[in-house]
Amino acid sequence: MKVWVKFLIGTVLGMIIGFLLPENESVYAALAWFEKLAIGIGRYTVIPVLVFSLTVAVYELRMDDQFWPVILKNVLFIIAASAFVIFTGIVATMFFWSPESRIPIVTVEQVEVLNLNIGDNLLDIFPPNMLSVISTGGIYLFPACIFAFFLGMGLNYDRNYSKPVISLVDSLSRIFYHVASFFSEILGFILIVLAAFWAVRFKDILQAKGYKDLVILLGVFSIALCFVIMPLFLYLLKPKTNPWRVLYGFLGPAIAAFLSGDINFTIPILQRHSKENFGIRRRSSAISLSLFATFCRCGSAMVAAAAFIVIIKSYSYLTISTLNLFTIGLYAFLLSFVLARHPGDGAFIALAALCLTYDGGDYRAGYLILKPMAFYLIAIGAFIDIMLNAFGAYIIARTNGFIEEKNLVHFI
């Protein structure tokens, strides 16, 4: 059975269970506990898979003198994609959001403290013990990526000395890849739990007043962006490719990202689909997946910007000026590069950051009015982030010749 079919069956079963479950605190608490367990299982292999694959990728690209050109292509793609997604999201929100669809304002006595901790993030990149980065909790992956970068660079020093280590790292990369493949095969069962918890929370926001229009707006925009606009960009590739075939090949990671709302949960799944559906070579996919997962969180930032505009319009009937829209877009654009420590709550953290910093903090408590639907914002943001990662990895691999096209019947 195809992996995406397993995921879809698990999703449907979980949704049915979630909508049929009674609404009480004990059920909610039990599902919340099982969600943590499920996310932990999904993240279980992400550090070893990422570190060893990225190490080999850096080494191989350095050997072929292609490392910096590949890095540059990824960086340019990330910047262009981030600007485009955030701009189109803001325009769509301004165009389609109705002033009558105001979200009820809640009064809070104390604002929760949410911080991006950018200073601490920078310090964590270079801990006192270099090896400590591979024993992290599978949340902040950038220090592990930096470790893999330096290890891959070091392997190019003298092959007479490094050859045994290269063979060991290459073997570990392949071993952990197959371990991660095993976990991706059983994730269909795990998604039942995630889908059930998702459905329970979704029932609540459907019953609440004021959220439905934002749910529809973000849902329709994300579908249009990922299933129409992104595939259309593939027509620009030479030689021509079938965009719907590419979209079909990434359905598994798309489902996993939407239900989990977690980037790190989905990375091993995306890596497997990139290799086994499209034959993307490890030297390309490891680089792209690492850079996109760290710096290309524009989907989450776009959701935050759209939600923030809705909050402003809910507070006031005044028109938002073009300058203010540009400022919101610029804030969101910058935030998309600093969400690496928040793989599972990026959109809501970005929204809180916008509310706490924009225009002197006049909307400090604004994000709290959307807290009941935080899981939905996170799901949409993670879904767009992963789809951009998938399409970006495919485009960069194809333009660099790091791809071996496979027949559709062999897709997993």
Q: Which amino acid, 297?
A: R
Collapsing DSSP to helix, strand or coil, 215 comes out as: helix
User: Would you call 44 exposed, middle or buried from its count of C-beta atoms within 10 A (0-12, 13-18, 19+)?
Assistant: middle
Q: How confident is the model at residue 100 (pLDDT cuts 50, 70, 90)?
A: low
**Which percentage of the chain shows pLDDT scores above 90?**
36
pLDDT of residue 267: 92
pLDDT of residue 318: 67
317 pLDDT more than 80: no
112 pLDDT more than 60: no
Q: How confident is the model at residue 71 (pLDDT cuts 50, 70, 90)?
A: very high
Dihedral angle sign, alpha carbons of residues 113, 116, 118, 123: positive
Domains of the chain plus CATH, in order, are 3-410 (1.10.3860.10)
Mean pLDDT score, 223-246: 85
User: Residues 116-151: pLDDT tens digits?
Assistant: 777 777 777 887 777 777 776 668 888 888 889 998
374 pLDDT more than 70: yes
237 pLDDT more than 80: no
Collapsing DSSP to helix, strand or coil, 404 comes out as: coil
Strand partners, 403: 280
The average confidence (pLDDT) of the chain is: 86
Residue pair 46/264 in contact (Cβ under 8 Å)? The answer is yes
